Every structure is written in C-alpha cells, then in structure tokens.
Amino acid sequence: MTGKNGKKPEKRAAGPERRKDFFSFKLRLIMLCLALVSGIVLVRAFVLAGVESEKLAAMARQEYRQVVTLNPDRGLIYDRHGEELAVSVQVESIFLRPAGIQDRAKASRVLARVLKMDQRAVMGKLTSRQPFVWLKRQVEPEVADRIKELDLAGVGVIPESRRFYPHRELAAHVLGFTGVDSAGLEGLEKGYDDILRGQSSQYSRKRDARGRPIYISEEGPVQQTKGHDLVLTLDKRIQYLAQRALAQAVADHRARSGLILVLDPVRGDVLALAGEPVFNPNVYRTSPDYTWRNRVLTDPFEPGSTFKVFTLAAALEEGLVSPKSRIDCENGVFRVGRNTIHDIHPHQVLSVTELLSFSSNIGAAKIALKLGPGRLHRRLTAFGFGQLTGIDLPGESKGLLAPPERWRKIDTANIGFGQGVAVTAVQLAAALGAVANKGVLMRPRVVSRIIGPDGKTKEERRPEAVGRVMSAATAAKLIKMMEGVVTEDGTGTQAKTPGYRVAGKTGTAQKLDPATGTYSNKKHLALFMGLAPAEKPALVILVVIDEPKDSPYGGVVAAPVFATVAQESLRHLGVPPSDPQLLVVKDEEEPSGVRTAGAGSGSARSDSPPARPDPADLLTARRNKRMPSLVGLSLRQALDAVAPLGLKLEIEGSGVVTWQSPEPGRDLKGVRSCRLKLEAERS
Amino acid sequence: MGSAPKRQNLKLVIGATVILVGVGLVYAWSANRVIELGYEISQLQTARREQLEHYSKLRVELASLRRPERIESIATGKLGLVKPRPEWVVVLN
C-alpha cells in the first residue's frame, strides 16, 4: 500500500487524516451543540416540571377549568297546611367587566335600549374602574335572552335567586321581605335569615375550547346548600278572612290604620296576624316604609277598657271580689285625690259582672285601688304585660308598665281601666289567651317546624306554657262575665256570632296628643278582644282600629270585625255550633231560591228543595216527643228536623233519606240517637 | 445463522408496536368516550336544572292561582255562589 518513493503516500495520507479530524471536530461541535441544547431543554424542562409546575398547572387549569358558583336556594315558607307563602325563583342579572368592553359608545347605546335604561347611566357603569359591575339585576327572562344574543364582550348574564310571595299582601307583616341580595330585611325573613338562607358553594368543571362544559364525575358539583324551610302556625284561610275584614273596617270607618291578631289559645299558635295599611312584599319599595313595620308587635298603645278584664282577673284571683259583688259606681263621677274619674254612662251600684258589661271606669278603678299597686302590678306582670312575650318575630316591644313604687293613687286607679299603661297587640291577645286556656299563659308562636334541605324535620317546636296566671275556676268565671259584654245590654253586642257563644270586651281608648301631652277628645283607638266559642275557646281574636272617623267605640267599630272573623274561622275550623237550636232554619227565613253554580254565564238557577217535611207534622212530633218521618228528605232537611229533638245522628250514604231508625211515630223517651240511610235521588 | 434471530427480533418489534398501537387506540377511544359522556352528562344536568326551574315556576303559578282572594272572586262573581248562612252549615262529627 505504501508508495515507491515513500513521500506521496504520506501526503496522500495527511489529507484524509485532516478531513477526518475536521469531520470529527464538526461532529463533536454538533454533539456539543446538541448536548448544550439538550441541556437547556432539560434544565428548562426541570424548571417547568419542578420549580414552576404549580404556577403553570394553575395557569393551565384557568384555561380549561371553569369555576361555577352555585347560588343557594332560600328556604320556603309554608302555612300550617303546607301552602306556600314565600318561594324562591331563579332570575337573571346582567353584569359588566368594564375592562373587557371594546366599543363603549356602541355598547352603551345597545344596552340602554334593551334594558330600557338611561344611556348615560349605562355609560357611567361601562367606564367604571371596578373589575365587576352590576348593570341591572333580576331582569325578565326575555331581556336576559336578548342580552345573551347580543354576545357583547365584557357583558354577561348570571342567574340569581329571587324571593316571590305568591299571595302578595297576605301575611306580609309576618313574612316580611328580602332585599336584592336575598338578605332578609323584615319579618320572618329577617328573624330567621340565618336559617332560611342557604350557603353558596363553588365547584370547578372542565370546559372545551369553545367554553362548553365537560362534566367529569370526580370533579362534579358538590351538594348545593339549600336553606331550611319554615312551617308556620298561620292558617292561610283565616289570615285572608282576618285581613279582608280588617281592611273593610278601616275603609268603612275611614280609620288611620288597624291591627288584627287571631290566636289558638290552647297552643299559642298565631293563626292570623295583620296590619292595615299593608304592603305587597314583591314590590315593597312601592309602599311607604312605615307600612312595612309589624305594628302588632312594635307599637304599644293604651288598651283602654279591654284592660278591665285583667284587673278583674287579679281581683277575682286574690279573692277580693266575686262576679256578684256590688260596687258603687258613684253615679258617673269619682274623685281620686285631686283627679276625677268619669263614666260615659253614669251608674249607681253594679255587680262586678255588670261593671264589665257596661264597662264602668269607676268600678274598675275602685277594684284596682282595692288591689293596690303591688298586687295589681304582680298580677299584670304574670299576664305578660311590660315584658316581651317571646314571640318568634323580630322587633317586639315590651310595652310600658311602670314599677309599682312609682304609681300614685290616681295611676293605680287609671291602670285599672287601661290608662297609663301601654301594651302591644300580641301581649293583649296572649293575655286573653290565658283566660281562654283555663288560666295558663302560652307563649305566642309563629313557626311550628323547621325542615332541613333534605326534606326532614330538623326542629319541631312544641307549644310552650309560660305559666299559670290564674286558676281554671277564675278563668271560667271571667269568660262567663265576658259573655255578658256580648249578650244582654253589654257594650259589645255587635260581636254576637250566630250559632256560637262568644265572650269579649270592648275598649275605647283616647290617644295621647303628643303636642299637648293630654288625652285627645278626637283621636281614639277602638278595640275589641274576644274568644269563641265561650264553652271551649278555639280562637282568641283582637281587633284594634286606630282613629275611626265616624264612631270611636270599640263595640261599634271593632266588634263587628270580630264577629265576621270568628264566624267564618270557626266554620273553616269545623268547630260545631255552641247551640244547635240557633241553626234551625225557621220557615220564614228560608230563602226562596239558593243561588248555586251557574253555567258560566253568571246566571243562577233556583235550587228549590225537593219534598219538604210538613212543618205541622214536625211541630207535632217535636211537641209529642215522637220521631218524625224523614224519608224523602235531603240530609239538610233531615238534620233541620232532627236538631230540635237533641238526637245524635249516624248517617250512611248521600242523597235523600231512604231509611230511618227509629221509625216514624216512635216515642223518643230514652232514645239518644237516630240512624239514617241516604241514597241518590232517582229522577 | 444470523437471519433467524433478526427475523425473531423483527417479529417482537412488530408485535410490540401492534400492541402499543392497540393500547393507544383503546386509550384514545376510551378518553374520547369519557369526553363524549361528559358532554352528555353536562347537557342532562342543564336540562335537569331547567326542568327544576320550570317546576319551581309552575309551583309559584299554582300558589298564585290558589290565592283565596282570586278563588272567592271567581266563586262569587263568575260562578254566582253565595256564602252559606250560619243555619245552612251542618257540622258533622
């Protein structure tokens, strides 16, 4: 292989060697570069994957993950029969991210037109420096759809929960209302805000390049935290009856305002509570703010003559008087020190029962003086006056009952008939409830049950007895005495409720004139408080009418409201009449044609009864205590015929009577019950 | 002598490649399916939310229709019913 002269081959060999070295050098250079690049890549990879991994992962998550905020659903409010009184609905609100808006002039023009807002106001929000601004909240669904269609950068739509009260003004003072952020501002909504309000929760989900959500089970939404539901003691029907009757009375007597409270005295349940004027909680801002206040709890007033019931209760319980005790009513004028007490209608000597019926101030003042400040104060405090009743609604006032040490003689006398003392409507009704509940004072309550978000009862609230304030015997005596107010020649005869024995007390309180500090002769409170039926009270009703223009008297202005509400509420509750005799239809009272459902045109057809029992036969049967023939009669006619005989009825079927036992003509001596079979009438 | 092991190695490489590709395809298919189902679930969730919202609105409407004031006005105005007089009401125990 070597050359002959030996040089050339060396030269030849040097070239490839150099090339080889050069090639080797280039190769090394490239490898070095590659190694360098690889090193950089590796270092960068280490930095990215190790040092900055958390930060970068978070940035990446921001791109493909979406944080969704679940607005809590506020709990519902039901009446005692499960009727919804307050519900929540989803509505949409429009928000802005001003930094993301490109053409502000165009955006303000379009948004102002769609949202029916002033363009300058919109522009003001568009130029805000805040990152997030509400443009308009709780808009109509169509408006929200229009905004979505516009697809403007920096403008978004977000769902929110809005409170809705389907019954509008019904029980507005109990329910209260919520603000735009679903925070309770008045009534139960405020008092139970923590319980009703749920907790908002967030979860993140993945989204694709177009922003569409991709649900991944492990990262799915957490359980939404809904608020608790409230079940109230209110009865929607009684609430409606009470509210309507009160509104009618306030309008009829051109009064300034009115209050009504209906209680179940045995359980302390508030069945209805209303004030007039009222407001619609759906649009509460359209009513003046003084109408929002629940004046049944917040505004104390002088109870006037209604307070005599509690003065008498104290005296009866202390054994100082009995219903028959005689009190000299001084012919209408009684001097206490330098002061004089008057009765509107002068009386000489009255029994304690008559004193209550005729509402003698002098009689009540004398009894109060006999009791003395200490005993009277102690008894009144036991009834709950001068302290909170503890009703589960916010804003309750204690009223005013001064300590007995500060009572002068005239103060004691005045308090005896309801002057110089201030009570709230709920205190007054609860105290009368104690009389109706055989002497046991119950704590008035509005919420009976709290239901958790899972639909299970979280808290069952039992009726709570505050304590015994008088013996059952004293309570019974008082009720008997209060019946005299409504019947006979009492001041509250307009509270008579057909079919039921009722008991009550009227009140006509002069209002203090703030300008002069004296009692006004023109401004009065007309009150009536009563219970029904007297033999087993199911309802306590208090009616207060403020400044009636035509008549100041509680017996004229407030008592008829009591009668209307008691009548319809007792019927609604299915309370049987006190005296069936009162319900027997007299022939002359029978309507010639009962209007029944017409065929949509408003016309009514006459529903003439089928075969009527011969009144003469019925009368004869009643006189002779023999069973009349009832076959062929309708149920009502048969009941009318049997009611005077005092028989207990057992009824089978419906339609007309086809069979009866005892048989017609049978002597009813020793017979207690009557069985009737009814079948559909064959035409 | 040398070609047989080479063929053996080639088979192994091809086999491993096929398996890897197969596993990759199955993984890709399942990942795609998960995403598809994710979309479906998301749509169903939206539909459920809408239905619940619709239900809540219907409930509100029902409650509004059951307002005593409205029922009384229909009963007395449209249907010509009257309130029963006390003596017409019979309470059955």
CATH number for the domain spanning A179: value is 3.90.1310.10
**Partner B contacted by A164 (CB < 8 A):** yes
B75: nearest CA in chain A?
A597
- Residue A496 makes CB contacts below 8 A (sequence gap 6+) with A486, A487, A502, A563
Query: Nearest C-alpha of chain A: how many angstroms from B31?
Result: 11
Average pLDDT over residues B9-23: 92
B69: nearest CA in chain A?
A240
- Taking only residues 20 to 49 of chain A, the set having a beta carbon closer than 8 angstroms to any beta carbon of chain B reads none
**Partner B contacted by A217 (CB < 8 A):** yes
Q: Classify the C-alpha dihedral A93-A96-A102-A108 as positive or negative.
A: positive
- Domain co-membership, A205 together with A345: no
Phi/psi of residue A518, nearest 5 degrees: -120, 170
A219: nearest CA in chain B?
B38
CATH of the domain at A626: 3.30.10.20
| B88 interaction partners in chain A (CB closer than 8 Å) | 585, 594, 636
Comparing CA positions, the residue from A441, A422, A408, A407 lying closest to residue A307 is A422
Instruction: Name the residue range of residue A471's domain.
Output: 237-241+259-269+300-580
**Partner B contacted by A636 (CB < 8 A):** yes
Cβ separation B81–A596 shorter than 8 A: yes
| B56 interaction partners in chain A (CB closer than 8 Å) | 87-90
pLDDT on residue A384: 96
pLDDT on residue A487: 82
- Domain co-membership, A73 together with A207: yes
* Cα–Cα separations (whole angstroms), residue A663 to A627, A631, A660, A669, A676: 7, 10, 6, 13, 10
Residue in the block written with tokens 């809540």 = B56
Domain-by-domain residue ranges, chain B? 31-78
- Domain co-membership, A370 together with A411: yes
Q: Write down the ipTM of this complex.
A: 0.73
A576: nearest CA in chain B?
B91
- Taking only residues 511 to 540 of chain A, the set having a beta carbon closer than 8 angstroms to any beta carbon of chain B reads none
| B64 interaction partners in chain A (CB closer than 8 Å) | 166-167
CATH of the domain at A453: 3.40.710.10
CA A580 from centroid of its chain's CA atoms: 34
Nearest to B66 among A83, A571, A596 (CB): A83
- Domain co-membership, A264 together with A400: yes
Query: Nearest C-alpha of chain A: how many angstroms from B70?
Result: 10
A161: nearest CA in chain B?
B53
Query: Nearest C-alpha of chain B: how many angstroms from A211?
Result: 12
| B89 interaction partners in chain A (CB closer than 8 Å) | 499, 571, 583
* Cα–Cα separations (whole angstroms), residue B50 to A103, A138, A153, A222: 34, 17, 25, 18
- Domain co-membership, A347 together with A442: yes
Query: Can you tell me the distance from the alpha carbon of A397 to that of A380, in angstroms, rounded to the nearest whole number?
Result: 16
Residue of B34, B79, B82, B83 best to disrupt the A interface, most CBs of A under 10 A: B79
- Domain co-membership, A526 together with A613: no
Nearest to B86 among A89, A498, A594 (CB): A498
Comparing CA positions, the residue from A494, A476, A477, A474 lying closest to residue A486 is A494
Query: Nearest C-alpha of chain B: how many angstroms from A235?
Result: 12
Q: Which residues of A are catalytic?
A: 305
Does the residue A46 lie in any domain? Answer: no
CB A184 within 8 A of CB A191: yes
Task: Name the more confident of A655 and B55.
Answer: B55
* pTM attached to this predicted model: 0.74
| A90 interaction partners in chain B (CB closer than 8 Å) | 53, 56
Residue of B36, B40, B42, B78 best to disrupt the A interface, most CBs of A under 10 A: B42
Does the residue A484 lie in any domain? Answer: yes
pLDDT on residue B91: 66
Cβ separation B56–A88 shorter than 8 A: yes
Residue of B67, B74, B82 best to disrupt the A interface, most CBs of A under 10 A: B67
- A3's tokens: 């050359």
- Domain co-membership, A562 together with A653: no
- Domain co-membership, A495 together with A633: no
CB pairs under 8 A between A and B: 105
Does the residue A471 lie in any domain? Answer: yes
- Domain co-membership, A329 together with A406: yes
Cβ separation A89–B79 shorter than 8 A: no
* Sites in chain A below the pLDDT cut of 70: 1-14, 66-71, 201-205, 211, 213-224, 488, 580-622, 681-683
- Domain co-membership, A566 together with A641: no
Does the residue A171 lie in any domain? Answer: yes
Burial class (CB in 10 A: 0-12, 13-18, 19+), A486: buried
- Domain co-membership, A551 together with A618: no
Nearest to A597 among B66, B69, B80 (CB): B80
Does the residue A495 lie in any domain? Answer: yes
Per the prediction, chain B carries an average pLDDT of 86
| A636 interaction partners in chain B (CB closer than 8 Å) | 88, 90
Query: Nearest C-alpha of chain B: how many angstroms from A482?
Result: 23
pLDDT on residue A600: 33
- Taking only residues 57 to 96 of chain A, the set having a beta carbon closer than 8 angstroms to any beta carbon of chain B reads 83-84, 87-90
Query: How many domains is chain A built from?
Result: 3
How crowded is residue A85: how many other Cβ atoms within 10 Å of its Cβ? 24
- Taking only residues 473 to 512 of chain A, the set having a beta carbon closer than 8 angstroms to any beta carbon of chain B reads 498-499
Query: Can you tell me the distance from the alpha carbon of A415 to that of A404, in angstroms, rounded to the nearest whole number?
Result: 11
Nearest to B80 among A83, A575, A598 (CB): A598
DSSP reduced 3-state for A220: coil
Does the residue A667 lie in any domain? Answer: yes
How crowded is residue A374: how many other Cβ atoms within 10 Å of its Cβ? 12
Residue of A76, A81, A89, A215 best to disrupt the B interface, most CBs of B under 10 A: A215
A241: nearest CA in chain B?
B68
| B93 interaction partners in chain A (CB closer than 8 Å) | 576
